[in-house]
Amino acid sequence: MFRSRLRIPRAPRSGLAAPSSSSFLQSLPFTFSRGVHHLPSFEHPFNEHGVPGLLSTTGFHVAWTQYQSLMLQNLETATAGTEWENKDLKQIILNSARQPESAVLFNYASMAHNNHFFFRQLANKPVEMPENLQVALTQSFGSIETLRNEMILTARAMFGPGFVWLVQVPNPPGRTSTFKVLTTYHAGSPYSGAHWRRQSVELPTATKDPGDGTGLGREWVQKSAYGAGKKAQEGEKRPEVPPGGTDVTPILCLNTWEHVWIMDYGIGTLKEGGLKQYARAWWDVIDWVKVKDAANLTRHPMRV
Amino acid sequence: MIIRNIVLRHGRQVIVASASPSCCVRALSTSTAKSATTATAPKGPTNVPSFFTTPEQRAKIAALKEQMDKVPDNFKEFRSIQKKTGKIGAVTQPRHLPDEMLKYPPHDATLEMLMAAQAHMGHNTSLWNPANQRYIYGVREGIHIIALETIAAHLRRAAKVVEEVAYHGGLILFVGTRRDQRPIVVRAAELAGGCHLFQNWTPGTITNRDQILAQGKLRMVDELDRDVPGFDDHIQECRPVIPDLVVCLNPLENYPMLHECGLANVPTIGIIDTNADPTWVTYQIPANDDSLRAMALIAAVLGRAGQRGQERRHADAEDGVITWETPSDVRRFVQNTLTAKAQEKKDQERQSVEQPAWGREMVESDEDVAKAMKQLADEEGI
């Protein structure tokens, strides 16, 4: 190994202001140092006009530009000098999900990934749902209205911050495709490779056993046993994974973290405003073409 | 003038001292050789004959096969999902890793790569050699800046020289005597099929090579770089080899070597910083010789050029086009050997013609005597 040395000493880096019209935001210090992870851009001009129908310019700036930059900077700080320094976010997520000591890496990487996933599926103007996606979703949920209500009510029911996902699962014999709604709290990940950090339920509210508090602990032990090669016994149900495939494909998500909607929708009341209004507004700005591309409808489905 | 190296790169007229016994055996053998090391194909469920398994076992095998048949389609879909979701979250552009140039050597250096490698940074303006003014773009922060286009142009010229020397069967020596240049020169020499030197050049390695390089081993190779037997005598007697091209990463510290190369008419390529003397080498590459990243980049480009030359040479050799000639001393050795063998054969024939078969004591080997006795016994009916 060798290092090269520059002859000219570098000038000290100074903090630069964020490029925005608001004076409040201008006063926040930002350092644009050359990093490994850069902020992704969108095909729509969200930076200038926000997300029409969902977020204002300021709201988008807080929810995306500032928050995503912060997540990526934190991730760079956490991975600097380690083996994860130049790795993709998904690799970091899958490899740090199991170890509690790499929780920092997982949190920042997963949060950045989920946040980008949310903003990617948003459109500039209303997009009609493609025919095949409509048929497939209707088969799983009965109707599109039901799916909409399911996702909005799930978001409403989540007490803490997190994400509400629409995922595709492997097909049981005789069906073309199956979808279901999934929740992940905080920075939980829906991917099956990171199932250790799914965080689909809030810890205090999840009790499988009455009173003794070992519900989730037992689940953890069981997962470890399956990982070590234990066969499923009579009565125990093990999730069917298609051989060579994966059991969860996320196609759509809703970001229910407060910082995303609080500036534009406020806290709200029982009847209106707040998270409920935000979730309803979100349904109308979903880019269903992108959702269809993420789903596997036209190709050969995964067989269990 | 480029001195040919002393290896036989002969076309179809290869002199072979004696046929190896294995050739004869293989030629005579009619059986198809079955190697003991061939791995047999793993028997899948379909190959299991039915009379070896019970119905339960056959059902299990069928179920397993059914599972395995699903894998290719599922895996293809899995991979497409991975591809789609792998890059979500950030645009990841890794920084430069020092080993990058060694692991993934580029074929050409762009101006951006040269600048990122700090190849344009010369020395303090008071330390310059005015002969280098044609390479300098200007002054900044008290140092001379070498023009990037000049670096690129000279590097490409040097790469062309390296490629063509390799194409014509030349031996290229990469020299970098600073401590951290070791992996760089080794990798460049490996790519170009040449030799490397990262320790001090012993003065006299070319001019006094009969003493200094006496221990070195030599190989005799043909047009496809395969060893040619029958030249042990020549290899023992001939002079040590000198390189056809020398690439030096730090000419300022290797003046004796460059001087000897000049005396022996060996062309040299050297990295010329703003304080170096451009007249010491044949082909200058003006660049920052204190930057290891720049040295790694330049050596990688030259190594790749050598690799391209070698590949072209091999490709042409396989088509029957030999791009070099046998050196004169090897040709002389071959001629002398042929002449000697022809003379020997002539003497033998003359001897056998002149001497009558009878009236003279014939010295024969034991096997011949035994054979003659047996033949006689058969004829007599004993």
Average pLDDT over residues A178-206: 87
| Confidence at residue B53, expressed as pLDDT on a 0 to 100 scale | 81
Count of structural domains within chain A: 1
Confidence of residue B250 (pLDDT cuts 50, 70, 90): very high
State the pLDDT at residue A26.
Answer: 46
Q: Is residue A258 part of a domain?
A: yes
Rounded to the nearest angstrom, the minimum Cα separation between B220 and chain A is 36
Give the residues across from A179 on adjacent strands. A168
Estimate to the nearest angstrom the gap between the alpha carbon of B318 and the chain centroid.
Answer: 16
Type of residue at B192: A
Structural domain of residue A87, as residue ranges?
50-198+207-230+241-294
Domain-located, residue A21: no
Choice among A29-33, A221-225, B232-236 with the minimum mean pLDDT:
A29-33
> How are the residues of chain A apportioned to helix, strand and coil, as percentages rounded to the nearest 5?
45, 10, 45
Minimal Cβ distance to B89: which of A8, A86, A89? A89
A34 belongs to a structural domain: no
Average pLDDT, chain B: 86
Task: Judge: B292–A3 Cβ closer than 8 Å, yes or no.
Answer: yes
- Number of Cα atoms under 13 Å in the Cβ half of residue B349: 6
User: How would residue A163 be classed by pLDDT, with cut points 50, 70 and 90?
Assistant: very high
CATH number of the structural domain spanning residue A95:
3.55.40.20
Mean pLDDT of chain A: 82
* Cα distance between residue B337 and residue B229, in whole Å: 14
CB contact A94 to B (< 8 Å): no
Interface contact flag, A1 B99, Cβ < 8 Å: yes
The Cα of A270 is separated from the nearest Cα of chain B by a number of Å equal to 34
B-proximal residues of A, 141-180, CB under 8 Å: none
- The residue that leads in pLDDT, A175 or B268, is B268
The b/e string for B8-18 (b: 16+ C-beta within 10 A; e otherwise) is bbbeeeeeeee
Q: Is the pLDDT of residue A105 over 70?
A: yes
Q: Tell me what ipTM this predicted complex has.
A: 0.76
Residues 48-67 of B with CB under 8 A from A: 67
Tell me, yes or no, whether A260 lies in a domain: yes
Is A11 inside any structural domain?
Answer: no
Residue A220 has pLDDT above 80, yes or no: no
Give backbone dihedrals phi and psi of B224, rounded to 5 degrees, phi first. -110, 25
Write phi, then psi, for B283 (nearest 5 degrees).
-120, 115
Q: Residue B270's pLDDT band (boundaries 50, 70, 90)?
A: very high
CB contact under 8 A, B67 and A89: no
Would you state the CATH architecture of domain B100-325? 3-Layer(aba) Sandwich (3.40)
- Is A8 domain-assigned? no
Residue A73 lies in a domain: yes
Asked whether residue A282 carries a pLDDT value surpassing 80, the answer given is yes
- Evaluate whether B116 touches B89 at the Cβ level (below 8 Å): no
Query: What is the pLDDT, as a whole number, of residue A13?
Result: 40
The tens digit of pLDDT for each residue in A287-304 reads 999 999 998 786 666 666
Which pLDDT score, from 0 to 100, does residue B29 have?
A: 42
Task: Return all residues near B298 (Cβ < 8 A) that are at least 6 apart.
Answer: B109, B119, B155, B249, B271, B285, B287
Residues A102 and A107: their CA atoms lie apart, in Å, by: 9
Residue B369 has what pLDDT? 80
A271 in contact with B, Cβ within 8 Å: no
* Mean pLDDT for the stretch of residues B318-328: 95
Rg of the Cα atoms in chain B = 32
| Contact present, A187 and A107 (Cβ < 8 Å) | yes
| The pLDDT of residue A57 is above 50 | yes
Q: Is the pLDDT of residue A29 over 60?
A: no
Q: At residue A1, does pLDDT exceed 70?
A: no
Q: Show the tokens assigned to B131.
A: 């002969």
| Residue bearing the bigger pLDDT, A257 or A230 | A257
Structural domain boundaries of chain B?
Answer: 100-325, 329-380
CB A162 within 8 A of CB A199: yes
Candidate from A28-32, A136-140, B167-171 with smallest mean pLDDT: A28-32
Task: For the beta carbon of residue B228, count every other beta carbon within 10 angstroms.
Answer: 16
Average pLDDT over residues A199-226: 64
Task: Decide if pLDDT at B356 tops 70.
Answer: no
- B138 to chain A, any CB pair closer than 8 A? The answer is no
In the numeric block, the tokens 């692991």 are attached to B103
Is residue A13 included in any domain, yes or no?
no
The end-to-end CA distance of chain A, in Å, is 48
